[in-house]
Structure 1
Amino acid sequence: MKTVLEILSVLILIAGLIPIIKNDHWIFRVFDYPRFQKLFVCLIILVLWLFLGFSDFGKLDYILFIGVVMMAIFQMYQIYPFTIFSPKMVKDTGSGSDFPTISVMVINVYQYNKDYQKALKLIQREDPDILLLAETDLNWAKEMSEFKNSHPHFVEIPQENTYGMLFYSKLPILEYEVQHLIDQEIPSIEALVKLQSGDNVKIFAIHPTPPVPSENPTSTERDAEILLVGKKVKHYDKPTLVMGDLNDVGWSYTSELFLKISGLLDPRRGRGMFNTFHAKYFFLRWPLDHIFVSKHFTLDNLKIHHNIGSDHFPISAGFSLKPMNDNENFEAEEEEKEEADQKIANGK
């Protein structure tokens, strides 16, 4: 029993420390994802150590026990911003307010999912102003075409490589551009929409590749695309949303660097993890789909919706345009700006 606990303790310490290493290879980056799971495993191991008792502890056992305690505290510290106990990064709009609003929904439909009706019913019920569907091929474009009636402004980029996008809007699209920021096979959308109030909002829709052996062995291109959008947002400095399946968790180093470079805010912070992946395995869930906003917005609501047959849960949010709020964003140090530039250069 003690030998098993020693092995488990060493493994969880390695799993907890690996993400600290700034290496883009997937072996290092994949350990960014299961932060809550690592905390849970730490607590289980500590309970088992206590159950075993201290009478039979050797020097190595004490070192491992203390190491797992410190790792559990470290994981709690990392998770804390994504709990209800942390200050909210995007303030609540509050009741009785009368500001311009925008509602958005992001769904990674999973290209090979044929249960179109589940997605249709969810979208019809929620009826967002802006709808982004990722992993959409020609079949999905055909099945979703009815939304052109309720959302007459749209950008459709169906693809067969799991990186297609469908962007539907009730709000007028004043201008848009389909971009290929890093890879010619991976599209993104930059659109300017007009609210009913007459205010303009810039929206970036992205879906970079994940750092997994079957897709991309490193996170270099993913990080570069995310940070490149962050620099675009910073230069724009007006009401902005960035949405999509970023294939990265909100607590990773890259995501935090993105918030610092862009000046955007994460509505999850101070509210919970709102996990969107993996829909089929409850013990392997983390937030991969995101809706980031500029400091001009406050939050009306944030929801994770039921499974539509995809490996992702849909996520939606409602925001109010309230320029005179007290949101506080991160600020990038000069060294972090240089690091972001280097990551972008490496990804091109």
Structure 2
Amino acid sequence: MMFGQLIKNRIMLDLLICIASTLLLAMTLLGRLPTHWWWIRACEFPRLQISALALVTAALSPLAETPWFGYALVTSLLTLALQLPRILPWTRLWPLQVQPAEPGQAPRCVTLLVANVLTSNRRSEKLISVIHQHDPDLVLTLESDEWWQERLDEALDEDWPYSVKVPLDNLYGMHLYSRLPLDRPVVKWLIQDDIPSIHTGVTLASGDIIRLHALHPRPPAPNESEESLWRDAELLLIGKRIHENPLPTLVAGDLNDVAWSRSTRLFCRVSGMLDPRIGRGMYSTFHAAYPFLRWPLDHIFVSEHFTLDTMHRLPKIGSDHFPFLATLCFRPSRADEATTPEADLEEYREANETIREGREREQQD
């Protein structure tokens, strides 16, 4: 009886290890499919978590009997082999993509704070305290509605007198507060008529003018959109415009996409934008409440004209996102130090087709 139970337990252990390693490999392979369906695109998000679990199944595989030992080990190692190249650029093992700033460049630098406040979060004093502590030049809030605007206006209007305000109650409101003069700011509805974006010049203390695009596209998720098409189209439309007019540019916001995804990497290649996190770390900003389920959703991308002074993920503010802060210096003379990503002809075709389809197709409720 006891021997039979041991055999049964051993079989269960073998099955669990093999099933787990198979599911991890299946998620890895699904994430590589060129489709917009949300449940497939979602497989790109937890690359770090999938890799960590693949390490566990690889370590446990010797507990399985032959031939399950070999199967579990091979599938686990294959998962790691496919995932690690996507993860390593966002670690200190990779060369820096945006070079460090040198001292003495303060008039050419701009500090930007990005915060998805979570509309239902009513602890505005936490964000306002963080803003006053770090004293950024630009504050970009996302998911901010009329209630948030009233609190932010009261706290920021005096010291950050330049602003663009789009209060909405649909989770896509956004506000930009600046102590630097804004040059011809506009609000655009790029792909969908309920998703705003802010586009403006920013005049630095040195007198140089840089461009800022603030985005918060709709995520691919069951309660939002069954496909990533419209998010991808918005990112690629901005990327295409940056490519066609290569001015000193920042792109910032909650892009509802991870840094290593197919669509974000295509955006970088089409636009030529750089990710200051590459070679430095992931700076995962979501989800603030669940340490094991975190990935980088909030982004600041820069053109080759910039170097990086500092970058931080800031403390919790009651939202499901952490605020993200970076100080960037406009140094066009150092542009040749950056290796700018470039798209090939097929990738430009893919970007144009995604933009066309995103504009033409209506999202299904």
Q: Same fold (TM over 0.5)?
A: yes
Residue 114 of structure 2 is aligned to residue 106 of structure 1:
yes
Structure 1 residue 15: Cα displacement:
1.1
**Share of identical aligned residues, percent?**
40
Distance 1:87 1:162 in 2: 37
Equivalent residue, structure 2, for 1:128: 136
State which of 23, 48, 67 in structure 2 corresponds to 1:11: 23
Counterpart residue type for residue 92 of structure 1: P
1:94 aligned partner = 102
Moved over 6 A (4+): none
Corresponding residue for 2:358? Answer: 347
Q: Which residue of 1 aligns with 2:276?
A: 267
Please point out which of 66, 70, 74 is paired with 2:78: 70
User: Which residue is equivalent to 2:158?
Assistant: 149
| SS across alignment from 1:31 | helix
CA RMSD of aligned residues (A): 1.1
Partner AA of 1:68 in structure 2:
S
Which structure has the larger Rg? Answer: 2
Name the SS for the 1:208 alignment partner. coil
Give 1:23-62 correspondences, 5 Å limit. 23-50=35-62, 52=63, 56-58=65-67, 61-62=69-70
Measured after TM superposition, the shift of residue 254 of structure 1 is: 0.6
Q: Confirm or deny that 1:313 pairs with 2:322.
A: yes
Give the superposition deviation at 1:73: 2.4
Q: 2-side partners of 1:264 and 1:129: how far apart?
A: 21
1:70-219 equivalences under 5 Å are: 70-97=78-105, 100-146=108-154, 147-219=156-228
Partners of 2:275 and 2:300 within 8 A in 1 = yes
Q: Mind listing any 5+ residue stretches in structure 2 that lack a counterpart? A: 1-12, 360-365
User: How far apart are the structure 2 equivalents of 1:99 and 1:14?
Assistant: 51
Q: Is the 8 A contact 1:203 1:243 kept in 2?
A: yes
8 A Cα contact 1:242 1:292, kept in partner: yes
**Cα distance in 1 between the residues matched to 2:151 and 2:104:** 39
Match for residue 347 of structure 2 among 328, 336, 348? 336
Using the TM superposition, give the Cα deviation of residue 75 of structure 1 relative to its aligned residue in structure 2, in angstroms.
1.6
Secondary structure of the equivalent of 1:145? helix
Q: 1:219 to 1:85 in 2, by over 3 A?
A: same
Measured in 2, the distance between the counterparts of 1:337 and 1:279 equals 35
Give the aligned residue type for 1:332: A
Please say if residues 190 and 203 of structure 1, whose CA atoms lie closer than 8 Å, have aligned partners that are also in contact. Answer: yes
User: TM-score, normalised to structure 1's length?
Assistant: 0.97
**Displacement of 1:236 after TM fit?**
2.0
Residue 99 of structure 1 and its aligned partner are, at CA, apart by 6.0
User: What is the distance in 2 between the residues matched to 1:98 and 1:184?
Assistant: 39
Question: Residues 29-71 of structure 1: CA distance to partner in whole angstroms, max 9, x if unpaired?
Answer: 0011001000100001111112x16xx212x542332121121
In structure 2, give the amino acid aligned to 1:113. N
The residue type equivalent to 2:318 in the other structure is G
TM-score by length of 2: 0.92
Q: Which residue pairs with 2:265 in the alignment? A: 256
Q: Is the 8 A contact 1:99 1:321 kept in 2?
A: no
Alpha-carbon displacement from aligned partner over 1:85-111 (angstroms, at most 9, x marks no partner): 101110001335566111101000000
Q: CA-to-partner distance for each residue in 1:211-243, whole Å, 9 max, x for gaps?
A: 001011100000000000111111221110000
Corresponding letter in the other structure for 1:40: A
Q: Report the equivalent of 1:278.
A: 287
Cα distance change on mapping 1:314 and 1:210 into 2, 3 Å? same
Work out the CA distance in 2 between the residues paired with 1:107 and 1:153. 18
What is the CA–CA distance in structure 2 between the aligned matches of 1:191 and 1:95, rounded to whole Å?
A: 27
